[in-house]
Chain A
C-alpha cells in the first residue's frame, strides 16, 4: 500500500533522508520512531505529496506521488502534529467540506458524517464554531475529518500529545479498527508504549537513515537486547550516533561490551 523506493531528500546540501526503502502492506499499522530531527516529518511530508523526494519513488496504493499525485492523495488522510481547522466553520461543516473535497456521494457523506460524530462523541459541540474547541475536541474533530472519506492510508504524526487518557484509548481503538478495515496506518510518534502496544512493525530512523525495521522481536535481535521498546530504541539510536571505533579502541569496546 505504501512503497518508498530509494527515497532521499536534501535541504539545500544537507541530507534529511537518505536512501529510504520501505514497503507497508494493507491492514498494517506501522510505527515510525526516531529522535527529534531524525527525518520523520520530512518522510511524512513526502508521503503526503507536500515535498518531493530529491531521489527515489514513493507509491501510494500503486500510484506514483509525483506522477499521479491526485489519485495517490485520494487514498490518503494526513493528521499532522499541529492540525489545521477552519476557525469559522463548525465541526459538522468541516466534515462536510472534507467529504465534498473527496467527492463522496451525498448520501454516503451524510451517513459517514453521522457515523464519525457518533464514533468520536462530537454530538455536544459539532455545531459550534471550531474556534471555541478545546485541544481534545479539536483532535477528535480532526480525526473524524481524516476518516470520513474512508482512506486506504492514514498517516498520523504525534496524535496523542495533549490528549486525556480516555481520548488516547479511543484513538488506539480507532487506529486498530482502521487496520481491521484494511487501511494502512503510518504512525509517527515519540510515545514508545503506544508504538509497542499497537504496531505490527516498527521502523527506527536516525540521521535520515532507517537503522531498524521489523517487529519488536526482530528489533530486539537487531539490537541484541531483550528489554522494552524504550531500551531497544535508546540502544539503537545511541549506537547509530556513536562513530564506529577503530584499532585499539575497537578492541577495548569489544572487551567492555
Chain B
C-alpha cells in the first residue's frame, strides 16, 4: 500500500474514532438507537425469510427443493436487481463525491496521484451505497442456510462475507466507469445522458417484468408449471458469463456442501471484481482530473436559470395557499429539480414503483380467486406505503437540514417560521398523494376490488401520505443536521433513522387498524362484497382508531417541529 493510501486509511480511522468519541460523550443513546434499529430490521427480515423458505420447502402445493435450480434462478433475479441498484447508486454517490464535494477540490490541489484520490472516494461510495444491501441480504442468506437441506455446512456462513465483498466490486466499478465516462465524454449533455440511461434501464426492467409474467396467462399464477416456465424466461440471467449468476451458483453450492464449485465461483467473482476495479482506477488516472475540469468549465461561467413551466405547474394545485408559502414550495422544488443527484434517485424510485405495477398487472388479468386478489391488493397497499415511507425519509427529512447556514435568509424574512415547515409539508404531501393515490386507485380497480375496499385503501394512503410528510418535516426540524451538506448522508443519520423506524411502525399500525379489518372481513366472504349495513362494528372501530392515530402522527410531529424551529437560534 502506498504512503498516500495508508494516510487515507489513517484519515478514515481518525474520522471514525473522533465521530464515535463525540457521539459517546455527547449522545451515546443515538448510537444505541441506531444499533437497535439496525438489529430490529435485521431480525424482522431474518424471521420473514426463514418463514418464507420454510413454507417453500414444506407447503404441500410447493415442496420446492431449496438446493435446486429454482433457488438458483431466484438468487439470479435478486443479485441481478442488486447489480442494477448498486451500479446506479454507486455512480450517483461517486458523482457527488468526486466532482462537487469540497474535499475533492482540497485533495486535487495536493501532490496526490489522481488514482489514489479516486480509490479513496470509490471505497467510500461503495461502502455507503452497499451497507443497506448487506443489512438486507445477510439475514436472507442466513435464513436460507438454515433451511436448505438439513442445514448448510459451517463454511457456508463463513464464506458469505467474502462473496458479498467480492461482488460489491463489480457493480461499484461499473457504476464508477459510467460516472467517469458520462462526465468526460458528454459534458454538455451529461444530465440528459444520465436521465436517458436511467429511463432506458427502467423501460428495460418494465419490459422484462412483462415478459416475466407472460407465462402466467397460460398456466395460472402460483402453479409450479408457471414458475418453471417463468424461470425458463429468465434463462438469460443464468448465463455463465454474468457475475450475478456466479454469486447464485457459489452460494447454492456452498449451501449444498460442494466447496470446489463454491470456490470456483468465488474465484470468478473476486478475479473479475478486482480486474474491473483495476481498470476503473486506471481509467481514473486519465479521466478524473480531466472530468473535473470539463465539469467546471463545460458550460458558460454563469448559467442562466429562469422560470420553468414545471414551476408554474406545481403552483396550480397550491392556489389555496398564501403567496409566501407558495413561493417557499417553489423554492424547494427548484432546488430539487436542479440537483441531478437528487432527482435521478427519484427516477429510480419511480422505476421500482413501475416495475412493481407492471408485475402486478399480470395478476390482474388472470382469472384468479378473489382471496388471492384481496391478498394482492393488500400487498400493493403495503408496497406503496413503503415507497412513500422511503421517499419521505430520503428526500423530505433532509430538506430543513439542507437550509443549513443559509437559514438566516429565511429566518430574517417577515414571515412566520411555521410557514417554512408548512411549505415543505405540502410539497411532500403533494408528491405522496399524487403517486400513492393513483397507484392504489388503479391497482384496486384493475383487480376488481369492491368499492368499499378501494375507499378504505385510499383513506389509508391519504392518512399515511400526510403522516409520513408530517413526521419527516417535523422530525427533520427537531433533529436537524445543519453541518451536513449531503442529503444522502443526512438520510442515514440518527434523526433519519428514528424517522424511518417511526414511519414503519406507524405504517404497520395504520394499515392494520384501517385496512386490516376490512381486508379480513372480505377474506372471510371472498365471493361477494360486504354491503355497508352488514359491516361489523370492529371494522368501524379499527378505522376510527387508525384515522385517530394517523391524524395524531400528522399533527404532533409537525407542531413539535414548528415549536423547535421557532425556538431555534441562528
Contact = CB atoms under 8 A, between A and B. Distances in A.
B109 A70 contact: no
A102 B110 contact: yes
Contacts of B111: 70-71, 73-74, 101-103
Given A11-B300, A49-B108, A87-B483, 11 more contacts: A12-B297, A49-B289, A50-B109, A70-B112, A73-B110, A80-B105, A84-B106, A86-B11, A90-B18, A93-B18, A102-B111
A89 interface: yes
B297 A9 contact: yes
Contact of A101 (B112, B188, B299, B301): B112
B19 interface: yes
A125 B108 CA distance: 27
Contact of A89 (B4, B18, B106, B293): B18
B483 A14 contact: no
A39 B19 CA distance: 39
A87 B14 CA distance: 11
Interface string A77-114: 01010111011111001000110111100000000000
B289 A69 contact: yes
A84 B298 CA distance: 24
Nearest to A15: B301
A16 B11 CA distance: 36
Given A50-B296, A101-B4, A14 B108 contact: no
Given A73-B111, A84-B102, A102-B110, A97 B301 contact: no
Interface string B187-199: 0100000000000
B483 A131 contact: yes
B61 interface: no
A186 B113 CA distance: 24
Contacts of B240: none
Given A100-B7, A101-B4, A88 B300 contact: no
B37 to A, nearest CB: 22
A95 to B, nearest CB: 12
B10 interface: yes
Interface in B266-308: 289-290, 292-293, 296-301
Contacts of B106: 83-84
A16 B297 CA distance: 10
B103 interface: yes
B300 A13 contact: yes
B293 A50 contact: yes
Interface in B284-340: 289-290, 292-293, 296-301
Nearest to A79: B109
A183 B59 CA distance: 80
Interface in B16-50: 18-19, 22
Contacts of A11: 297-301
A20 interface: no
A62 interface: no
A170 interface: no
A31 interface: no
A13 B103 CA distance: 29
B3 interface: yes
Interface of B: 3-4, 7, 10-11, 14-15, 18-19, 22, 102-103, 105-106, 108-113, 188, 289-290, 292-293, 296-301, 483
A76 B292 CA distance: 19
Interface residues of A, number: 40
B471 to A, nearest CB: 28
Nearest to B105: A50
B108 A51 contact: no
Nearest to A146: B109
A71 B299 CA distance: 30
A37 interface: yes
Nearest to B293: A52
A33 interface: no
Q: Closest 4 CB pairs between A and B?
A: A74-B111, A84-B106, A100-B7, A73-B111
Contacts of A70: 111-113
A69 B298 CA distance: 21
Interface in A39-53: 45, 48-52
Contacts of B113: 70
A194 interface: no
A156 to B, nearest CB: 12
Contacts of A122: none
A161 interface: no
Which of A12, A16, A54, A74 has the most C-beta atoms of chain B within 10 angstroms of its own C-beta?
A: A12
B27 to A, nearest CB: 15
B480 to A, nearest CB: 15
A21 interface: no
B109 A49 contact: yes
A144 to B, nearest CB: 15
A78 B105 CA distance: 11
Nearest to B296: A51
Contacts of A87: 483
Contacts of A78: 109
A89 B108 contact: no
Contacts of A45: 296
A100 B297 CA distance: 31
20 contacts: A11-B301, A12-B298, A13-B300, A37-B301, A45-B296, A50-B108, A50-B293, A54-B297, A70-B113, A71-B111, A73-B110, A83-B106, A84-B102, A84-B103, A86-B15, A87-B483, A89-B18, A100-B10, A101-B112, A129-B18
A10 interface: yes
Contacts of B103: 84, 86
A71 B112 CA distance: 10
Contacts of B112: 70, 101
Contacts of A101: 4, 7, 110-112
Contacts of A84: 102-103, 105-106
